[in-house]
Structures are given as structure tokens and as C-alpha cells.
């Protein structure tokens, strides 16, 4: 059972929350997150439950025009 | 700063800026080169973006984040690469949280060949973002009806292109850009995309545009730091010229030196007619 993080399979964490997944992924701050295409506010990471196959996107700042 | 410069600040969503140059942060050879271009160009805003974090990435945007913080400049995140409403809205929401700003440069691309904005989705996305409390700066074309719809949606700044992104062609449709300026005299208009030379920037500023956003024109120059300086001067010169009020173009020659009292004045046959 896994979720897809930035296009790569990642084991589903226990408990299956976004906060646990971010720990597993070792996301580097600063970052922001979307689950299945929808932005998830930072305040909701603990309560955001994830399911097998969910698409998680973690983004960081980069250069842009 | 002179009194006139102090009075003539650029106001975007209530924020006042002394500079009228907006600078993109992409495609520089090194972070130091970017930092030097920012220092020399003295832009009011820096455009930035968001990209996926790679698993286990050591830096993951941290050094860029520190560079931005050290410049002390206002940050303008973009939605570059977005093609539909949902994608753009969620990118904007992530940018707002990450950069702690409601400002968003809204890009909704409708064509992969020339990276032209999708006017229909742009208006729809802008409407949604304004409802969510964003301060939207839409990257658009010079089409008057599109610009009017964006204003109706609540955009208080517009960013019409000069030419397709990254081409450096300069204004491809000068008459439409000038008409837009005339028909929308009160909203800040920033010319974004397609500027290649300081003379292009100076020209649109002479036409009364409020600012210019450049990226590739600076970062892809042989000497990006020198070019940042040149753009800064050009934007300032164009603005000063606009405020000074250019002369009216004449169809025929008008001598600038007084006619009366020429040392060897003669009445030529053609002057007697």
C-alpha cells in the first residue's frame, strides 16, 4: 500500500495522515502541499487522512519569471 | 530620491514602490549573479515560482529562499506552467502559504507554441482568486475586451505581454498596447513578457505604462548584471519622458533655430511664394 509523492511511490505511513507522510518523506522547509490536486493548508496536516493511491504534491520555492 | 520621484511611486494593490522595474529570477548562471542583478537593477518586485521537491534533496529551495530573504524585496509568486483553472487556483494557494503573500502573478497558458494566455480560463481563474482574497496580477494579452473582463473580475493591475515569453522581440502590437493605455488610464499596466532590450522598456514607459517585467532579457544577456543596470536606467528614463510630456510629432520640418535675423538672410524664391 502506497501513496504517490511527487510522482514517486511512497509507503503509506502509520497513522495515515499527511503529517506522518511529510515526516517519512523528510520534506525540507519551506514547502507547501496539495493532495489529489487540492491545496492542503499547513494547519490541516495532522487531521488530513490519506488513502492508498492518493497523489501528494510537495513544492518548494524556485526561480521564476 | 528627488521630490518628484518620491511623489511618482508605483502603487500596486496599495503597496507603493519607488522602482518600476520588476525582475524575474530564472535562468541566471549562478545565485550570486542573480543577487548582483537584483542589487544593481533595484527592482520593486521579484517573480518566483514553485516546483516539486525531490525526495532527499539536500537544498530543496532553501538557498534560494535565503537569497530572497536577504534581498528584502517584495515577492511576486507566479503560476507558471498552469493550463487550467483548478491547477492555477491550487498553485496560487500553495504560493500564498509558502511565500506569505496574497500577490499572485497569474499565468494560465493556452498555447504551447507561443505560451499565449488562455483568455477564457484566465478570467475564470482570476474571478475565483479574487473571491479567495488574492491580489491578482494577470499575465494577459493587449486585447481590450479581455483586459476589461479582468478588471470586471476585480484585478487592480494588468500585465499585458509585449511579445511571447522569452522571445525578446519587443512590442509586437504597439498600436494595440497604446490603445489599451488610453482606454484604461487609471489601472496600473505592467508590460510583461517579450521585452528584449532596454529601448523596448523605455518605449513602453514613454507610452505611459506603469512598469516593466523582464527576466530573460537580463538573465540571458552576456553580462546580466550590466543589463540589469541598463534596464533600470531605461525604465526610469521612459517614465521621466512620459511625465515630461513628449512633443507633438509634426508632418513637416520646423526649424529650431530662430528664423529672424539670420546673418546672411536672403529672400529665396521659394520663400516668396
* ipTM, 2 dp: 0.96
* Residues B61, A32: C-beta atoms closer than 8 Å: no
Chain A residues within an 8 Å CB radius of B49: 61-65
Instruction: Report how far apart, in Å, the C-alpha atoms of B236 and of each of A22, B8, B24, B71, B217 are.
Output: 47, 11, 18, 21, 17
Taken as a whole, chain B contains a residue count of 273
Cβ contacts (< 8 Å) between A5 and chain B: which residues? 55
Q: Do B55 and A8 touch (CB under 8 A)?
A: yes
Task: Please name the member of B53, B61, B90 whose beta carbon is closest to the beta carbon of A39.
Answer: B90
Q: Which of the 8 DSSP states describes residue A49? A: B
Read off the C-alpha cell for B141. Answer: 494579452
Q: What is the DSSP string of B181-245?
A: HHHS-SS-BEEES---SHHHHHHHHHTT--EEEESHHHHTSSSHHHHHHHHHHHHHHHHHHHHH-
Closest in B64, B86, B165 to A62, CB measured: B64
- Distance in angstroms (rounded) separating the CA atoms of residues A26 and A13: 12
The active-site residue, picked from B20, B73, B96, B105, is: B105
- Show Cβ contacts of residue A45 under 8 Å, excluding neighbours closer than 6 positions: A17, A18, A19, A22, A33
Contact partners, residue B131, CB within 8 Å, separation at least 6: none
pLDDT score for B30 = 95
> Is B105 noted as a catalytic residue in this protein?
yes
Which residues of B fall within a CB distance of 8 Å from A32?
Answer: 50, 93-95, 97-98
Cis peptide before A15 (omega within 30 of 0): yes
Q: Per-residue confidence of chain B (273 residues) as pLDDT tens digits? A: 556 556 899 999 999 999 999 999 999 999 999 999 999 999 999 999 999 998 777 787 889 999 999 999 999 999 999 999 999 999 999 999 999 999 999 999 999 999 999 999 999 999 999 999 999 999 999 999 999 999 999 999 999 999 999 999 999 999 999 999 999 999 999 999 999 999 999 999 999 999 999 999 999 999 999 999 999 999 999 999 999 999 999 999 999 999 888 888 877 766 666
CB-CB: which of B27, B53, B77 is closest to A58? B53
Amino acid at each position: 500500500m502506497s501513496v504517490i509523492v511527487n510522482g514517486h511511490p511512497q509507503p503509506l505511513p502509520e497513522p495515515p495522515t499527511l503529517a506522518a507522510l511529510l515526516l517519512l518523506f523528510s520534506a525540507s522547509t519551506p514547502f507547501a502541499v496539495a493532495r489529489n490536486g487540492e491545496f492542503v493548508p499547513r494547519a490541516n496536516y495532522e487531521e488530513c487522512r490519506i488513502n492508498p493511491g492518493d497523489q501528494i504534491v510537495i513544492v518548494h520555492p524556485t526561480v521564476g519569471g | 530620491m528627488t521630490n518628484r520621484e518620491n511623489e511618482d511611486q508605483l502603487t500596486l494593490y496599495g503597496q507603493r514602490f519607488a522602482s518600476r522595474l520588476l525582475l524575474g529570477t530564472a535562468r541566471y548562471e549562478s545565485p550570486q549573479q542573480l543577487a548582483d542583478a537584483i542589487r544593481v537593477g533595484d527592482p520593486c518586485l521579484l517573480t518566483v515560482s514553485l516546483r516539486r521537491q525531490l525526495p532527499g534533496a539536500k537544498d530543496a529551495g532553501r538557498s534560494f529562499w535565503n537569497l530572497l530573504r536577504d534581498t528584502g524585496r517584495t515577492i511576486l509568486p507566479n503560476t507558471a506552467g498552469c493550463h487550467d483553472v483548478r491547477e492555477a487556483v491550487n498553485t496560487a494557494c500553495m504560493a500564498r502559504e509558502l511565500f506569505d503573500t496574497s500577490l499572485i502573478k497569474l499565468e494560465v497558458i493556452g498555447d504551447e507554441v507561443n505560451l499565449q494566455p488562455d483568455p477564457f480560463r484566465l478570467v475564470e481563474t482570476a474571478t475565483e482568486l479574487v473571491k479567495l482574497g488574492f491580489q491578482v496580477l494577470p499575465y494577459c494579452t493587449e486585447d481590450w475586451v479581455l483586459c476589461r473582463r479582468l478588471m470586471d473580475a476585480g484585478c487592480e493591475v494588468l500585465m499585458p505581454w509585449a511579445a511571447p515569453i522569452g522571445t525578446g522581440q519587443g512590442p509586437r502590437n504597439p498600436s494595440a498596447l497604446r490603445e489599451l493605455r488610453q482606454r484604461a488610464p487609471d489601472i496600473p499596466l505592467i508590460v510583461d513578457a517579450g521585452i528584449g532590450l532596454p529601448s523596448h522598456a523605455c518605449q513602453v514607459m514613454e507610452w505611459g505604462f506603469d512598469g516593466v517585467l523582464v527576466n530573460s532579457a537580463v538573465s540571458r544577456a552576456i553580462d546580466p548584471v550590466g543589463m540589469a543596470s541598463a534596464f533600470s536606467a531605461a525604465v526610469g528614463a521612459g517614465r521621466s519622458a512620459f511625465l515630461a510630456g513628449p512633443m507633438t510629432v509634426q508632418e513637416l520640418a520646423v526649424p529650431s533655430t530662430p528664423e529672424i535675423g539670420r546673418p546672411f538672410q536672403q529672400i529665396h524664391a521659394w520663400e516668396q511664394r
